[in-house]
Amino acid sequence: MSDGGFDNLLDQCLGVRQGEQVVLLTDEGTDGLVVTWLLESVEARDGVPIVARMPVPRLPGAEPPPAVAAMMREAGAVIELTSLFIGSSLARRSATERGVRYLAMPGVRMETFRPGGPLDVDFEQLRADAERVGRAWSSAREFRLTTPGGRDAPGACCTGWHANQARTWRHRTSNRAPRRSRARPPESS
């Protein structure tokens, strides 16, 4: 397994700093190989990895135990590796309000970090592309998406004046009976 996905995660996404405490939130369903690689990768950056094991959350957004919540508030960064998403918890909100950087990766598996996988990308280039698309979207009134099969999907951008008009239109039409639509067969590609 290459370190590429871990390097991208820790350097581009999280920006681990020397001497910084990085809490790895885990539970019994967390992939142990991911924890091992993150421990070694954080240490290689002279960071201080701390594994916080908690019970498996019963519901999304469940609160971690108070001791884990305290660790989260005092860390420089937290990586959520629990079986179920808890990133909407008060503990996470309190931590990030204090400036803690937080990555939510519930249920992540070692395969996620494979070469050519979802974390094996240039996030700086991805940011530049997203900002370019955002600027284009902000100044556009209309858009057209074209599928690889050649089907067009035109639409209107809802920014500024257009967004207000869309809200007004939705309000005026909210009491109408729903329109019936006809399903189309999927495109062949």
Q: From the CB of residue 115, how many other CB atoms can be counted at a distance below 10 Å?
A: 9
Percent with pLDDT over 70 in the chain: 81
Is 123's pLDDT higher than 70?
yes
Residues 6 or more apart from 178 whose CB is under 8 A from it? none
> Residue 118: what pLDDT?
86
pLDDT band at 188 (very low <50, low <70, confident <90, very high): low
List the single range of 1-5, 45-49, 52-56, 78-82 with lowest mean pLDDT.
Answer: 1-5
Q: Please tell me the distance from the alpha carbon of residue 39 to that of residue 51, in angstroms, as a whole number.
A: 8
> Residue 160: what pLDDT?
54
Query: Which residue, 60, 56, 95, 90, is CA-closest to 79?
Result: 95
List the single range of 17-21, 74-78, 160-164 with lowest mean pLDDT.
Answer: 160-164
Helix (H, G, I), strand (E, B) or coil at 36: helix
pLDDT band at 176 (very low <50, low <70, confident <90, very high): very low
> Residue 138: what pLDDT?
82
List the single range of 91-100, 110-119, 163-172 with lowest mean pLDDT.
Answer: 163-172
pLDDT band at 159 (very low <50, low <70, confident <90, very high): low
What's the CATH superfamily of 4-121? Answer: Response regulator (3.40.50.2300)
When pLDDT is averaged across residues 147-159 and rounded to a whole number, the result is 82
List the single range of 72-76, 92-96, 176-180 with lowest mean pLDDT.
Answer: 176-180
In order of 54, 114, 128, 149, the CA distances from 94 in angstroms are 18, 33, 30, 47
> Residue 168: what pLDDT?
52
> Residue 18: what pLDDT?
96
